[in-house]
Structure 1
Amino acid sequence: MPKIAIIYASQSGKTKRMAEAIANGAKSVEGVDVLLKNVFQAKPDDVLDADAVVLGGSTYNSKLIKTMDPFLAQLEKLDLKGKVGVAFGSYGWSGEGVPILIDRMKSFGMSVIEPGTTAVQLPTKEDLERCTDLGKAVANGLLN
């Protein structure tokens, strides 16, 4: 059964809401295993056996939230070539978090779906619907 690992770092819960919506969308597709974890609980093995890795991180001071750095350093040591990668996150002003995640996943040799998805501040209903649709699309893509 194809597996999607959704790992996120969220300081104020905004990116967490997006992660939950992506997971709900993916779970609505039969035949796909979905793992959702906060970066503090995630382990490299969570993504090693995944077919798609969806990473979420907010932007803080024009950079990706620092709590994602140790996990990305662990991923750098793994063979992730060919896995599907997707990035998402919320931001208040500048939004660099998602492009940074995309660049890192590309450096791991992943097949990254661009441009990722973002929300300004608290995700709106439309933002969350877009996240749900993203989860469905990734799950359906793994089945086809």
Structure 2
Amino acid sequence: MSKVLIVYATRMGETERIAQLIGEGVRISGVEAVVMDAGKIKNEGDLQGYDALVFGSSTYHGEMLNKMKTLLFLAEKAGLEGKVGGAFGAFGWSGEAPGRIYNTMANVFKMAMVGDPLMLKNASLGGGIQMAQEYGKSIAGKLKER
């Protein structure tokens, strides 16, 4: 069975909520999902054994959280080229973090990215729950295509 790692960095809990919903979408599709706080990833070996990786961070003052920046530096050494990837994040006024994560995964890590990054102000607003679950389903769908 394929396995997806969904890693988030959050300050207020909203990005974690989005990560959990993406995980639900992955599981609904019959694929195993592991959801984890970025602070629990200690080395590039912690990223091994997954067929897809999805990274997300909230945006504060135009930046992703430092825990996600640290994760991206670790991930650069993990040999993720060709693996399925996705990026997401919660934001208030601006939403740069998901796009920066996505571009790093696509252009530096050379991952096979799904669509565009998922950007939500709040998982509970404007269909956010369904959008996050659909994003998870698209990750699982891309894995099944391979």
Alignment correspondent of 2:63: 63
Q: Say whether the 8 Å CA contact 1:119–1:127 is kept in structure 2.
A: yes
Render the CA deviation track for 1:18-74: whole Å, top value 9, x for unaligned: 0000001111122x2211101111343343221111111010110111221111111
- Detail structure 1 runs of 4+ shifted over 4 Å in the superposition: none
Alignment correspondent of 1:54: 54
Query: What are the within-5 Å matches in structure 2 for residues 18-57 of structure 1?
Result: 18-30=18-30, 32-43=31-42, 44-57=44-57
Query: What are the within-5 Å matches in structure 2 for residues 72-83 of structure 1?
Result: 72-83=72-83
Alignment correspondent of 1:133: 134
**TM-score normalised according to structure 1 size:** 0.91
Aligned Cα RMSD in Å? 1.4
Counterpart Cα distance in 1 of 2:98 and 2:55? 9
SS at match of 1:40: helix
Counterpart Cα distance in 2 of 1:45 and 1:2? 18
Counterpart Cα distance in 2 of 1:138 and 1:38? 19
**TM-score normalised according to structure 2 size:** 0.90
Paired residues, what number?
Answer: 142
Structure 1's unaligned 5+ residue stretches are none
Counterpart Cα distance in 2 of 1:131 and 1:90? 11
Query: What are the within-5 Å matches in structure 2 for residues 50-129 of structure 1?
Result: 50-106=50-106, 107-120=108-121, 122-125=122-125, 126-129=127-130
SS at match of 1:19: helix
Render the CA deviation track for 1:51-98: whole Å, top value 9, x for unaligned: 111111010110111221111111111211101110000111110001
Structure 2's unaligned 5+ residue stretches are none
Q: Say whether the 8 Å CA contact 1:2–1:33 is kept in structure 2.
A: yes
Q: Say whether the 8 Å CA contact 2:123–2:132 is kept in structure 1.
A: no
- Identical residues among aligned pairs (%): 32
